[in-house]
Amino acid sequence: MARGSVRNLVNLYSSKNNFSRVTSFLHSYRFLHNLHSSESRFYPSPRPQIAKPTQFMPSYFTQFSDFYIFPYFRVHPICTLSEDEKKEPTSNLSEKIESEFECSGDGFAERINELGNEDIGSEEQRLNFVQIANSDPVEIYKEIRDGVKSEKQSRADWDTLIEIFRSFSQSGWASNQALAVYIGASFFPTAVHEFRKFFFKKCKTDLVKYLVSLGPGDDAERFLFPIFVEFCIEEFPDEIKRFRKMVDSADLTRPHTWFPFARAMKRKIIYHCGPTNSGKTYNALQRFMEAKKGVYCSPLRLLAMEVFDKVNTLGVYCRLLTGQEKKDFPFSNHVACTVEMVSTDELYDVAVIDEIQMMADSARGYAWTRALLGLKADEIHLCGDPSVLNIVRKICSDTGDELVEQHYDRFKPLVIEAKTFLGDLKNVRPGDCVVAFSRREIFEVKLAIEKYTNHRCCVIYGALPPETRRQQATLFNDQDNEFDVLVASDAVGMGLNLNIRRVVFYNLSKYNGDKMVPVPASQVKQIAGRAGRRGSRYPDGLTTTLHLDDLEYLIECLKKPFDDVKKVGLFPFFEQVELFGAQLPNITFSQLLVKFGENCQLDGSYFLCQHQHVKKIANMLEKVQGLSLEDRFNFCFAPCNIRDPKAMYHLLRFASSYAQKLPVNIAMGMPKCSARSDSELLDLETRHQVLSMYLWLSNHFKEERFPYVKKAETMATNIAHLLGESLLKACWKPESRNPRKPKLQEEDGYQRPRSLVKLQEKKRHEKSLPEQRLEKVAA
């Protein structure tokens, strides 16, 4: 508090009329200050979380011996002034108050001045108010509790009192603070309702008058809250205990302590930090291959397959493990797996975690976090951009691991080309990769290029099986054929080594499940970085946009420094959800997940990964009887496209058979030939996804319950083959998987895509467009 403010306060304090208002203000100010300082220490994220007072405060209550509430009210009354001092404040008072309030507050002096202008009534009342404001809330509570019937109040005072309690029951502040004493948000309104009844029944006139003088709002809330806490502790011990147990079981703080074996090791973490195409993965894989026993964790099945093939070719025997496939190699000590599948039980000499920046991914981030925290390896190589470097440093200081940083530069700078496409796909050249962000656009581009030029296009997008993507990549990389252009979605963005000369962005906006949004800069960098890989036919990379309108955004993205990620993803293990669920019988699994999300506690460096996908499947499986909680949990993580009703239907069928203890069968025919239309192509994609799901389930449940694994594998291989064949001759207009959805573009012929960036950044586009130039930017 500034010295001037204290003087002001002392002056006000000495003026009789304002004595109690100032005291009450100090009261709430001190109270706020206490709470505020605990907030900033214990609520590191903007989202209110439940403080665990055990960690920082001495115990005070005997019945709840490990938490402590509002020490100032109990230990120091707000102003420890003698009676004489109260009557005649001296200049020493300013020092006294100042030393007690070592904080400053915005608007504090203004508030004091405001108080100075308010009149609060008779001398007797003033003294009463001072006494009440200085009283210990425990005493106030006891007085109400032990009192007889409430005294008669005026109509106006009752009305104000009702307003005060209404405002208290709706106070977000009070509801949040109540969490610290284990009054849950859902129980808070009931608790306030009971508190109100209790208060109205027995309160004394002085107290009512004092509250009325404060009026509805912050001051009254701050005054009432500690009394409310006393009431709750005495009246609702069972609710408090139950909620507390629930909160403790949703404790996701200190996740590094979940892996005691990894903590017992002294691990060496090597962070290969740099932009795309700088040799990060290459160098990490060198160590992996030299090791006696190693594991490579991949962000994609396709990349795991690539490493599996590559290291086996180089004579290092390696297994493959993804959610869908297990390929053993005799005498192998090495394994290439998808990051979700990595074992934290096995001991390794060297582990590689590729694309470590994916720790910050809103849905899958938890898998990278788990691998980093839990892998039992003497040496762990992380490959990624610098965005998570700071948080990895913090994690390593928490875990006690040694961190070595190796920084890399791009082998060759990425060059931005301007004014080469001019909105016309006819300007496509061999080695171009045209990037679009929806399946529909991908086929529109392919159709247009093949119709108006002599080029043939390969396609890569998320719904294609890895085998088909790989076949398309090989076709594109191979020079001895007419397929010299690649049309791809963002699925091309990670790790794959393709012979791309130039990445051309068809547009720079994508649908985020709700609306069209600009593609984030980090993703633009990642995708553009696919051009010009070392050792490929085109070591110098180029990138551009189809439309000049988008060029400025591309330049901006590539110039932008990497984000500094502040939080990485976490998701509870099944055991944590199970423990939490035990506190909440009679709710559905999907409700349980929602409750967990609401109540879990996280450190400031972590966020809870999104689980809409999981909740949607949980909802669908709700009616299936006979599944244990663990079965439900596992079914919910099956790789199922939740927007595809056919895939969802098959998942439901698999779960129902499993629950009835029947052998789970595929019950799906095999198409005889490749697709002749887009709807047939979509059907092939869905069938492959269903088979992939079957194989995934067979690896995550008892295999004997899924007796048709061999058949599913054969069918999946054949369908991937049919998909490849279909894509070679695909020359049809794309259809939507969901026909009811409004179409983003017109059906007839090739339409110029509308640039969302253009709309969103109209202002910027009013400026003159950049001159034709070649600009070197390190991506």
Report the interface residues with ligand ATP, using CB under 6 A. Answer: 274, 276-282, 383, 495, 497, 529, 533-535
Nearer to ligand ATP, 276 or 599 (CB): 276
User: Binding pattern to Mg ion, positions 489-518, x when CB under 5 A?
Assistant: ------x-----------------------
Nearer to ligand ATP, 278 or 543 (CB): 278
Residue 462 CB, shortest distance to ligand ATP, in Å, is 18
Distance between CA atoms of residues 546 and 757, nearest Å: 13
Nearer to ligand ATP, 280 or 455 (CB): 280
Q: Supply φ then ψ for residue 695, to 5 degrees.
A: -65, -40
Residue with tokens 């309702």: 193
Nearer to Mg ion, 493 or 495 (CB): 495
417: CB partners within 8 A, 6+ apart? 502, 542, 543, 544, 774
Nearer to ligand ATP, 531 or 682 (CB): 531
Residue 280 CB, shortest distance to Mg ion, in Å, is 5
Distance between CA atoms of residues 107 and 2, nearest Å: 11
Closest to 667 (Cα-Cα) out of 644, 683, 634, 691 = 691
Nearer to Mg ion, 23 or 281 (CB): 281
Nearer to ligand ATP, 314 or 667 (CB): 314
Residue 572 near which of Mg ion, ligand ATP, none (CB within 5-8 Å, type-dependent): none
Per-residue DSSP letters for 81-125? --HHHHHS--THHHHHHHHH-----TTHHHHHHHHHT-----HHH
150: CB partners within 8 A, 6+ apart? 200, 201, 202, 203, 204
Amino acid at 742: P
Residue 226 touches Mg ion, criterion: CB under 5 A: no
Residue 269 CB, shortest distance to ligand ATP, in Å, is 17
Amino acid at 401: D
Residue 533 near which of ligand ATP, Mg ion, none (CB within 5-8 Å, type-dependent): ligand ATP
Residue 160 near which of Mg ion, ligand ATP, none (CB within 5-8 Å, type-dependent): none
**Residue 47: exposed, middle, or buried by beta-carbon count in 10 A (0-12, 13-18, 19+)?**
exposed
Beta carbons of 543 and 778 less than 8 angstroms apart: no
Alpha-carbon dihedral sign for residues 120, 125, 131, 136: negative
Residue 277 near which of ligand ATP, Mg ion, none (CB within 5-8 Å, type-dependent): ligand ATP
Nearer to ligand ATP, 23 or 278 (CB): 278
Residue 511 CB, shortest distance to ligand ATP, in Å, is 25
Residue 330 near which of Mg ion, ligand ATP, none (CB within 5-8 Å, type-dependent): none
Nearer to ligand ATP, 298 or 599 (CB): 298
Residue with tokens 């903007």: 46
Residue 195 CB, shortest distance to ligand ATP, in Å, is 58
Residue 416's alpha-carbon distances to 65, 425, 532, 542, 557, in angstroms, are 65, 18, 12, 6, 11
Report the relative pairing of strands 326-327 and 318-321 from DSSP bridges.
antiparallel
Residue 535 near which of ligand ATP, Mg ion, none (CB within 5-8 Å, type-dependent): ligand ATP
Residue from 281, 399, 522, 641 touching Mg ion (CB under 5 A): that is: 281
Beta carbons of 422 and 445 less than 8 angstroms apart: no
**Residue sitting closest to Mg ion (CB):** 281
Residue 298 touches Mg ion, criterion: CB under 5 A: no
Nearer to ligand ATP, 112 or 269 (CB): 269
Residue 743 near which of ligand ATP, Mg ion, none (CB within 5-8 Å, type-dependent): none
Residue 526 CB, shortest distance to Mg ion, in Å, is 10
Give the single-character DSSP code of 280. H
Residue 284 CB, shortest distance to Mg ion, in Å, is 8
Residue 689 touches Mg ion, criterion: CB under 5 A: no
Distance between CA atoms of residues 46 and 26, nearest Å: 26
With contacts defined by CB under 5 A, name the span among 96-104, 257-265, 276-284, 315-323 that binds Mg ion. Answer: 276-284
515: CB partners within 8 A, 6+ apart? none
Residue 585 near which of ligand ATP, Mg ion, none (CB within 5-8 Å, type-dependent): none
Q: Which residues bind Mg ion (CB under 5 A)?
A: 281, 495
